[in-house]
Amino acid sequence: MIRDIIKAVFNGRLEYSEHALSQSIHRDISNQEVKQAIIGGKIIELPSPAVGESDHRLRAQPAGMDRLRSKAELRMTCHVCGGRLEDKLVTYTIEHGGQLHVFENVPARVCRQCGERYFADDTVGKVQGAIRQEREPDRFIQAPVIDYRSIV
């Protein structure tokens, strides 16, 4: 399974879940650093989860899964619920550096069943680069902000 992941990196087929993309931006871990860690076998970070914290690790399908389904089917199957994935253009938002960044028309593979979104590594690199380079936005929007405490 690890060899398949390394091959995916070399063949440009590495994908990030939406959560992984957001965490890479928040933790300032570049797409290139992730690839180097996978290929070089180095661990970027192995957090010791405290109450309420996530444990971020590389996860693989159980042994033998690739015998049950073809590799093409695995690429089109959601890792969360097993649903089918379809290519779509989505809006990706993230708060970073005290600002809300909205990316429109982002290519993603989206699960028809649970809505989990997966982004190709070149897409992740472009989103990370736009945030790091503080790219001039194409347009600005106004967004309402509601403090939850004001509605309880």
Is 0.75 surpassed by the pTM of this model? no
Report the residue count for the chain: 152
The rounded percent of the chain whose pLDDT value lies above 90 is 46
Gyration radius of the chain over CA positions:
17
Position 50 confidence tier, pLDDT thresholds 50, 70, 90: low
Side by side, the strands of the sheet bearing 85-96 are 15-17, 117-120, 99-111, 85-96
Nearest Cα residue to 19 out of 71, 77, 92, 72: 92
Class assignment of domain 2-44+69-134? alpha beta
Residues 16, 122: contact at Cβ < 8 Å? no
Q: Which of 2-6, 20-24, 41-45 has the highest mean pLDDT?
A: 20-24
